[in-house]
């Protein structure tokens, strides 16, 4: 049985309205029995009209919550106080327009301003990280509590909560560390559904091996990118997946999970992928280079070990002192 598909859609209001003026897109989503995770970039009448259109077509819609770009866009440690405010604004808008939702999605990623700094170079990005890391060490517990309260409120309102996470959060957990969270401002948040963003377009030529490695450990996974989203030119490989790469990732993901998220709907439409999924052969053979897979597994182990040690910087000093004491003791014993 084919996996259930959910398409992320991150268009602004005008582009979104134009996209869904094409009835064949709604018809294709119905044929695929697919859902849409719609980015809440604004609370406009145009966006509400699209949600109602999807509601009337019985297409499940997830509210993918985002902040204004000047507030960081994605949810993280630095903007925790704004998250509840944004949800309250969303809830008021949703009730005003009588909209129905499958669940609520929280996008946990570094502040968008870090991406802007990276475009200027490594040193501007480092200055931004260094200027915030000390503050984050103090605020991480407070921010986590704020987000936990937000999740509790969303549950009280009758919705499940899903979170979109970077893959490295898995190594952070293995190491029982919070170093990555303090460095990037992300947050390891317990939710009902966690989706790892395993976008192989950003990790060529290792993308298929990374998808297999992390996908086996993840609860839910998202593949991509087929195009669209935040402008990452100068920061990451921005070339969208071609059909060969996309179909490979679909097959790998389909072997691993019963549900797959895809970024993005607009990219699939633009490249003509959406209609091709109706008759997609999910039984195709796929092969991942074993050497690449083993290397990814080894790198993940090394990263987890580094996170573990860096979270406990006193440990190397203790080991060194113990080795020195042991050596001194042996010398005295040999006299």
pLDDT surpassing 90 at residue 249: yes
Q: pLDDT at position 154, please? A: 98
Mean pLDDT of 257-270: 97
Mean pLDDT of 110-115: 78
Mean pLDDT of 164-172: 97
Structure tokens at 114: 């870090």
Structure tokens at 226: 């087929």
Q: pLDDT at position 331, please? A: 64
Mean pLDDT of 33-47: 98
Structural domains in the chain, CATH included, are 4-334 (3.20.20)
Q: pLDDT at position 235, please? A: 59
Q: pLDDT at position 229, please? A: 85
pLDDT surpassing 90 at residue 296: yes
Q: What mean pLDDT is reported for the chain?
A: 91
How far the first Cα of the chain sits from its last, in Å, is 75
Q: What is d(CA 285, CA 21) in angstroms, rounded to the nearest whole number? A: 37
Q: What is d(CA 105, CA 192) in angstroms, rounded to the nearest whole number? A: 10
What percentage of the chain reaches a pLDDT higher than 70?
Answer: 88
Q: pLDDT at position 1, please? A: 84
Q: What is the pLDDT of residues 311-327, one digit of tens each?
A: 877 555 555 565 665 56
Q: pLDDT at position 327, please? A: 65
- Give residue 27's Cα distance to chain centre: 28
pLDDT surpassing 80 at residue 231: no
Which range has the worst mean pLDDT, 140-144, 190-194, 243-247, 274-278? 140-144
Q: pLDDT at position 319, please? A: 58
Q: What is the pLDDT of residues 198-218, one digit of tens each?
A: 999 999 999 999 999 999 999
Question: In a 10 Å sphere around its CB, with 0-12 CB exposed, 13-18 middle and 19+ buried, how is residue 202 labelled?
Answer: middle
The position carrying tokens 């475009």 is 119
Contact 144/185 with Cβ under 8 angstroms? Answer: no
**Residue 170 banded pLDDT, cuts 50, 70, 90:** very high
Mean pLDDT of 159-181: 95
User: Higher confidence at residue 114 or residue 90?
Assistant: 90
Q: pLDDT at position 137, please? A: 73
């Amino acid at each position: 049985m084919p996996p259930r598909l959910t398409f992320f859609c991150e268009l602004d209001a005008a582009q979104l309205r134009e996209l869904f003026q094409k009835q064949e897109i709604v018809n294709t989503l119905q044929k695929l029995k697919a859902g849409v995770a719609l980015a809440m970039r604004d609370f406009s009448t145009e966006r509400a009209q699209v949600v109602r259109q999807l509601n009337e077509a019985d297409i499940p819609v997830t509210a993918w919550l985002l902040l204004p770009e000047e507030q960081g866009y994605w949810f993280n440690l630095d903007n925790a106080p704004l998250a509840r405010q944004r949800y309250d604004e969303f809830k008021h808008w949703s009730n005003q327009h009588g909209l129905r939702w499958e669940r609520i999605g929280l996008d946990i990623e570094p502040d968008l301003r870090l991406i802007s700094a990276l475009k200027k170079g490594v040193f501007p990005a480092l200055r931004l990280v260094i200027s915030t890391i000390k503050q984050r060490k103090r605020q991480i517990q407070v921010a986590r509590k704020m987000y936990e309260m937000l999740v509790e409120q969303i549950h009280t309102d009758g919705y499940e909560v899903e979170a979109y996470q970077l893959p490295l959060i898995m190594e952070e957990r293995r190491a029982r560390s919070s170093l990555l969270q303090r460095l990037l401002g992300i947050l390891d948040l317990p939710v009902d559904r966690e989706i790892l963003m395993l976008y192989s377009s950003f990790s060529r030529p290792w993308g298929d091996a990374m998808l297999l490695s992390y996908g086996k450990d993840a609860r839910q996974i998202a593949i991509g990118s087929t195009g669209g989203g935040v402008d990452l030119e100068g920061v990451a490989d921005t070339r969208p997946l071609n059909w060969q790469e996309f179909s490979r990732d679909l097959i790998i993901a389909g072997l691993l999970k019963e549900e797959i998220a895809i970024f993005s709907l607009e990219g699939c439409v633009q490249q003509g992928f959406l209609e091709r999924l109706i008759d997609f052969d999910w039984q195709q053979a796929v092969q991942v280079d074993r050497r690449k897979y083993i290397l990814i597994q080894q790198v993940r182990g090394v990263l987890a070990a580094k996170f573990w040690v860096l979270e406990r910087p006193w440990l190397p000093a203790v080991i060194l002192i113990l080795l020195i004491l042991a050596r001194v003791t042996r010398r005295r014993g040999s006299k």
